[in-house]
């Protein structure tokens, strides 16, 4: 049987499987990672990328063989796994389809940034985009923040930020480290923050048609994270690539990134050194300099200590 030259296999993995993968593949991890990825490794002919969302992607001639073990592992850890295979599946129409009824509605959307960065806060924003603002936002180039440079974002956001209603939360890394535990993981923290901004904004705006969240967890998992949270917003529509489905999510993504950039620059000035974004080896080098200059306790204020970078720095 002839193998595909470039098979792509992807599925979402639980926190437990993520930890196992990070440990098992630490020997072959690359120094550089794609945007919004926790890490990328090259095992033989297969490139493996784990994204902040929990999705892991195997790409290469041996993607099917490399992924088999982890598919089985995830089934053991979480009881189920949904696998997409480029060699057998067509690209999901629902991922790319934009419903005009939703796109041209007056709606609230939310998105977050900073979850894959060792330094810098997590910022979550919800925005309300009425239908009469859609043309204006399209004209000035509003789109997903991942498709724009930081310089682009610093130019675009001031053009619309006063034209729409929004709510943002900045979670410092000190607060993040206080929250994070075996019972409260990254996705649970994200769910709590999304719910807070959505509750605030939906309480102020009454004429919205949809509330849209850029999906980072299955619907039942998202609401399970919020089972002990007051004022849960439940009338949510979850979309992957939500920034393409409604401009409220795109605006939320851009405002979150705009705030993140400002906070990141402020932190760099405070430390009197340029901090790198992401979680690669350049981040490790900078963190070591910070520890040498300010002591390890400083990392508790400015870094996400559960990241693998911390163990490398300790060693």
Mean pLDDT on 228-235: 96
Q: How far apart are CA 153 and CA 142, in angstroms?
A: 9
- Would you state the pLDDT for residue 3? 39
73-to-2, 11, 27, 76, 87 alpha-carbon distances in Å:
26, 12, 19, 5, 22
Q: Which residues contact 227 (CB under 8 A, 6 or more apart)?
A: none
Residue 274 has pLDDT above 80, yes or no: yes
- Would you state the pLDDT for residue 88? 58
Sign of the C-alpha dihedral, residues 230, 250, 220, 278? Answer: negative
Q: Which residues contact 187 (CB under 8 A, 6 or more apart)?
A: 15, 54, 216, 217, 221, 225
- Would you state the pLDDT for residue 73? 84
- Would you state the pLDDT for residue 90? 46
pLDDT in tens, 127-148: 999 999 999 999 998 976 777 8
Residue 86 has pLDDT above 90, yes or no: no
Domain 7-88 annotated CATH 3.30.310.10 = yes
Mean pLDDT on 251-266: 97
Paired residues of 310 in beta bridges: none
- Would you state the pLDDT for residue 298? 95
**What does the domain layout of the chain look like in residue ranges?**
7-88, 96-267
Pair 53, 216: CB distance under 8 Å = yes
Among 82-86, 194-198, 270-274, 279-283, name the one with the lowest average pLDDT. Answer: 82-86
Pair 54, 187: CB distance under 8 Å = yes
- Would you state the pLDDT for residue 247? 96
Q: Which fold has domain 96-267?
A: Nucleotidyltransferase; domain 5 (3.30.420)
- Would you state the pLDDT for residue 26? 86
Mean pLDDT on 278-302: 93
Are 7-88 and 96-267 equal in CATH topology? no
Residue 57 has pLDDT above 50, yes or no: yes
pLDDT in tens, 7-40: 899 999 999 999 989 988 888 889 888 888 899 9
Residue 4 has pLDDT above 50, yes or no: no
Question: What is the maximum span of the chain, computed from C-alpha positions, in angstroms?
Answer: 60
- Would you state the pLDDT for residue 95? 59
In this structure, how many other beta carbons lie within 10 angstroms of the beta carbon of residue 266?
A: 10
Q: What is the mean pLDDT of the chain?
A: 90
Which is higher by pLDDT, 95 or 294? Answer: 294
């Amino acid at each position: 049987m002839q193998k595909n030259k470039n098979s792509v296999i992807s599925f979402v993995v639980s926190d437990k499987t993520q930890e196992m993968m990070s440990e098992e593949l630490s020997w072959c991890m690359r120094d550089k990672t794609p945007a919004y990825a926790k890490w990328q490794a090259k095992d033989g002919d297969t490139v493996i990328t784990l994204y902040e969302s929990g999705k892991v992607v195997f790409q290469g001639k041996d993607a099917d063989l490399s992924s088999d073990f982890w598919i089985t592992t995830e089934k053991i850890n979480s009881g189920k796994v949904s696998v997409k295979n480029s060699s057998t599946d067509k690209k999901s129409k629902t991922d790319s389809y934009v419903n005009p009824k939703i796109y041209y509605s007056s709606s609230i959307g939310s998105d977050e940034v900073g979850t894959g960065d060792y330094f810098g806060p997590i910022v979550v924003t919800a925005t309300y985009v009425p239908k009469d603002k859609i043309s204006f936002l399209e004209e000035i180039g509003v789109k997903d923040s991942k498709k724009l440079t930081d310089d682009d974002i610093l130019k675009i956001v001031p053009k619309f930020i006063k034209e729409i209603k929004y709510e943002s939360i900045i979670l410092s890394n000190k607060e993040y480290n206080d929250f994070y535990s075996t019972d409260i993981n990254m996705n649970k923290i994200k769910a709590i923050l999304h719910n807070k901004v959505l509750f605030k904004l939906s309480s102020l705006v009454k004429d919205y048609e949809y509330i849209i969240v850029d999906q980072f967890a299955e619907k039942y998992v998202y609401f399970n994270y919020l089972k002990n949270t007051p004022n849960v917003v439940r009338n949510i529509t979850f979309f992957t690539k939500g920034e393409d489905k409604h401009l409220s999510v795109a605006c939320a993504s851009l405002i979150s990134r705009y705030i993140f950039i400002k906070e990141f620059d402020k932190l760099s000035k405070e430390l009197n050194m340029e901090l790198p974004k992401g979680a690669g080896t350049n981040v490790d080098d900078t963190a070591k300099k910070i520890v040498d200059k300010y002591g390890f306790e400083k990392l508790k204020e400015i870094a996400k200590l559960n990241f693998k970078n911390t163990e490398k720095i300790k060693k």
